Amino acid sequence: MSTELVALEHTLVAEITTAADLKALEEVRISALGKKGRVPELMAQLGKLPPEEKKAFGQAVNGLRDRVTTSLETRKTALSAGALLEKLKAERVDVTLPVRAGGGHDGRIHPVSQVWDEVIEIFADMGFSIAEGPDIETDDLNFTKLNIPEEHPARQEHDTFYMRSQPGSTDAPLVLRTHTSPVQIRTMLAQKPPIRIIAPGRVYRLDSDATHTPMFHQIEGLVIDKATHLGHLKWTLTEFAKAFFEVDDVKMRFRASHFPFTEPSMEVDIGAEAIGKPGKWLEILGSGMVHPNVIRNCGLDPDVYQGFAFGMGIDRIAMLKYGIPDLRAMFAGDLRWLWHYGFSALDMPSLAGGLSS
Ligand code: PHE
What pLDDT is stored for residue 43 in this prediction? 85
**Strand 174-176's sheet: what is its strand order?**
136-138, 174-176, 162-163
What pLDDT is stored for residue 306 in this prediction? 97
Query: Does ligand 1 have an atom closer than 6 angstroms to the CB of 262?
Result: yes
| Distance from Cα 288 to the centre of ligand 1, integer Å | 8
pLDDT digits (tens, 9 = 90+) for 107-146: 889 999 999 999 999 999 999 999 999 999 999 999 999 9
Q: Please count the other Cβ atoms lying within 10 Å of the Cβ belonging to residue 137.
A: 24
Query: Does ligand 1 have an atom closer than 6 angstroms to the CB of 309?
Result: yes
What pLDDT is stored for residue 4 in this prediction? 84
CA-to-CA separations, 75 to 28, 32, 71, 165, 349, in angstroms, rounded: 11, 15, 6, 49, 58
* Domain-wise residue ranges, the chain: 2-90, 110-341
| Distance from Cα 74 to the centre of ligand 1, integer Å | 64
> Radius of gyration of the chain from Cα atoms?
35
Report residue 203: phi and psi, to 5°.
Answer: -135, 160
Pick the CATH number of 110-341 from 3.30.930.10, 3.40.50.300, 3.20.20.70, 3.30.160.70: 3.30.930.10
Ligand 1 atom showing the smallest separation from residue 179 Cα: 4
Helix (H), strand (E) at residue 41: helix 38-44
Query: Does ligand 1 have an atom closer than 6 angstroms to the CB of 311?
Result: yes
CA-to-CA separations, 14 to 31, 55, 136, 172, in angstroms, rounded: 13, 28, 62, 68
Residues of the chain with pLDDT under 70: 1, 100-105, 157, 274-276, 353, 357
What pLDDT is stored for residue 188 in this prediction? 97
Query: Does ligand 1 have an atom closer than 6 angstroms to the CB of 313?
Result: no
Is residue 298 a contact partner of residue 309, using CB atoms and an 8 Å limit?
no
Is residue 217 a contact partner of residue 349, using CB atoms and an 8 Å limit?
no
Whether the full predicted model's pTM is greater than 0.85, yes or no, is no
pLDDT digits (tens, 9 = 90+) for 22-76: 999 999 999 999 988 999 888 888 888 888 888 888 899 999 999 999 999 999 9
Is residue 225 a contact partner of residue 194, using CB atoms and an 8 Å limit?
yes
Nearest CA, atom 2, ligand 1: 311
What pLDDT is stored for residue 153 in this prediction? 77
